[in-house]
């Protein structure tokens, strides 16, 4: 293998679907080919925690160089894998506003990640959610206050890195005040340099002071720092600003390069090349990793990517690998036991998740005028059929009368909801989803909401806290999370009134 090609390949971190790797021979062979080509690691998705552990263990055994394995585990392994413990969203932690608890949660997540072999968490989210209409950040942010985001972000970084996992502040220079989802197209942040310093940059400066090892560049145009309106992830001037004005000398990793903000505006392969030239050290999730390697290798050969740039970026990446190696071995497989229970006490972690979830609850209103018995439940959800079934199963097990569920396109209620009961428990499960373009009620849901009497209704709002704030419910509980634990704790809080 050509050394130039090998050294550029190490900066590439393709997507890795763990069930496909374990079950599909062609996919596995392709992945092993990428390892042989010298990629620096993978970003893992799908499957169970044990699928993840087995995949990592097999790949480490095949690789002749040190691989790093990354994942988005903002609120725990359950964000990407089945079988993990669900902690509150970052906005839930911000709502609870206990810095020591945020640090402890992050350390617990780090221990669970290390137990299955992961090295790198693409978290915390350091975006200040200053725009309630933001379709993709929302509850992923610690909140609307730059100071809350900065301090909880720093606490999360302390917990994560003390637990042996690389933390990553994202999405620089700030994705909070946007109305476009960068999975779909390129958002633009119209903010002056002074405005940036007061709001978006504060959490990132605090993260650098805390010693965060990596920062993710966002696919966001920022005219005040780049008049050419390049996305930050492709902008030499914005990444230079991060290095020189925030004094960050760690690893810069792009947001996923298969997202619409890059592919639609610059093309899949050219976007990867421009991202490296701009100053990113790690190129995350190209649309086609083989085409990306070819494009990067060609850029090395024709001099667009210089030897000096390769060496400088390579030193930063090698330093990160060494930090991870120094934290000890990962992914200890134990015959007959789940990987998740090998390296820590899961009971303590579940207790921690319960404590943090309870502390995240926001309660308003007074239930006194409503009947004390369990009210009939109507569920509004943007989730999959599996997610909806899970919520309904819990409600039925707890003896709640279930009227049905309504999605944006489907109404499972008898008579389409005509003749709703006088008193109602409304459960809303709406959260940000990449590529959805919005985080609110749609179609059938809006129709049914017009029939509901707020004064006779209890609202259990599991996700987006900005929903239905124009209406006054008899009693309202916001959980800031759509997890099963948040649902059960929310119901428990309602029953206690």
Catalytic-role residue among 119, 255, 258, 478: 255
With tokens 């008049």, the residue in question is: 227
SS3 160: helix
**Cα separations (Å) of 428 from 135, 152, 363?**
17, 27, 15
**Residue-wise pLDDT tens digits, 18-49:** 999 999 999 999 999 999 999 999 999 999 99
Does residue 65 carry a catalytic annotation? no
With a cut of 70, which residues of the chain have pLDDT below it?
A: 1-6, 328-343, 414-418
- CATH assignment of 3-341, among 3.40.309.10, 3.40.50.720, 3.20.20.300, 2.30.40.10: 3.20.20.300
- Give me the DSSP letters along 175-192: -TT-SS-TTTS--B----
Q: Please return the burial class of 335, using the count of CB atoms within 10 Å of its CB with bins 0-12, 13-18 and 19+.
A: exposed
Encoding tokens for residue 31? Answer: 């992945």
Bond prior to 173 in cis (omega within 30° of 0): yes
* Active-site position among 183, 219, 349, 405: 183
Residue 490: both structure tokens together: 């929310």
pTM summary value? 0.94
What's residue 339's pLDDT? 53
Domain boundaries, the chain: 3-341, 361-495
Structure tokens that stand for 109 in this block: 């997540």
For 243-259, write each residue's pLDDT tens digit.
Answer: 999 999 999 999 999 99
Q: What pLDDT sits at residue 181?
A: 85
Q: Please, which contacts does 19-27 make with residues 24 or more away whose CB atoms are closer than 8 Å? A: 19/46, 19/47, 19/51, 20/46, 21/55, 21/58, 22/47, 22/51, 22/54, 22/55
Annotated active-site residue 405? The verdict is no
CB atoms within 10 A of CB 190: 11
Question: One fold for both 3-341 and 361-495?
Answer: no
How far is residue 208's CA from residue 203's CA, in Å, rounded to a whole number?
9
CATH, domain 361-495, list 2.160.20, 3.40.50, 1.10.3470, 1.10.540: 3.40.50
CA 143 – CA 198 distance, rounded (Å): 15
């Amino acid at each position: 293998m050509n050394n130039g090609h090998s050294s550029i390949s190490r900066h590439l971190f393709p997507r890795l679907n763990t069930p496909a790797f374990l079950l599909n021979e062609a996919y596995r062979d392709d992945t092993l080919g990428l390892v042989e080509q010298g990629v620096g690691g993978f970003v893992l998705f799908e499957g169970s925690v044990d699928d993840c552990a087995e995949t990592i263990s097999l790949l480490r055994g095949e690789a002749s160089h040190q691989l790093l394995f990354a994942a988005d585990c903002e609120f725990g392994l359950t964000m990407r894998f089945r079988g993990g413990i669900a902690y509150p969203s970052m906005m839930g932690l911000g709502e609870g506003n206990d810095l020591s608890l945020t640090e402890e949660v992050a350390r617990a997540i780090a221990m669970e990640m290390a137990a299955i072999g992961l090295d790198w968490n693409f978290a915390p989210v350091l975006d200040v959610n200053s725009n309630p209409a933001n379709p993709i950040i929302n509850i992923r942010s610690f909140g609307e206050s730059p100071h809350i985001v900065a301090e909880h972000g720093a606490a999360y970084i302390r917990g994560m890195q003390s637990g042996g996992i690389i933390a990553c502040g994202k999405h620089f220079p700030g994705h909070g005040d946007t109305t476009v989802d960068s999975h779909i197209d390129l958002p633009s942040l119209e903010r002056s340099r002074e405005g940036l310093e007061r709001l978006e940059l504060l959490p990132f400066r605090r993260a650098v002071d805390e010693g965060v090892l990596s920062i993710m560049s966002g696919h966001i145009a920022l005219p005040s720092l780049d008049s050419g309106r390049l996305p930050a992830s492709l902008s030499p001037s914005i990444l230079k600003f991060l290095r020189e004005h925030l004094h960050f000398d760690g690893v810069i990793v792009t947001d996923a390069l298969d997202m619409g903000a890059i592919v639609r505006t610059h093309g899949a392969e050219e976007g990867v090349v421009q991202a490296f030239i701009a100053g990113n050290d790690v190129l995350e999730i190209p649309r086609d990793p083989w085409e990306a390697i070819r494009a990067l290798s060609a850029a090395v050969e024709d001099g667009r990517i210089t030897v000096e740039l390769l060496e400088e970026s390579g030193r930063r990446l090698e330093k990160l690998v060494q930090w991870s190696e120094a934290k000890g071995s990962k992914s200890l497989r134990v015959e007959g036991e789940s990987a998740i229970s090998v390296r820590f006490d899961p009971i303590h972690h579940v207790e921690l998740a319960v404590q943090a979830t309870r502390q995240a609850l926001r309660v308003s209103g007074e239930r006194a005028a409503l009947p004390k018995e369990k009210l009939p439940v109507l569920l509004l959800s943007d989730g999959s059929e599996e997610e909806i079934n899970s919520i309904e199963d819990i409600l039925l097990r707890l003896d709640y009368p279930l009227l049905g569920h309504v999605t944006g396109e489907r109404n499972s209620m008898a008579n389409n909801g005509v003749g709703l009961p006088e008193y109602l428990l409304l459960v809303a499960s709406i959260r940000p989803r990449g590529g959805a373009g919005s985080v609110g009620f749609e179609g059938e849901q809006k129709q049914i909401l017009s029939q509901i009497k707020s004064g006779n209704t209890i609202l259990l709002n599991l996700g987006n806290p900005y929903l239905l704030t124009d209406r006054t419910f008899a009693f309202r509980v916001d959980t800031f999370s759509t997890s099963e634990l948040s649902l059960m704790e929310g119901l428990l809080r309602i029953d206690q009134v």
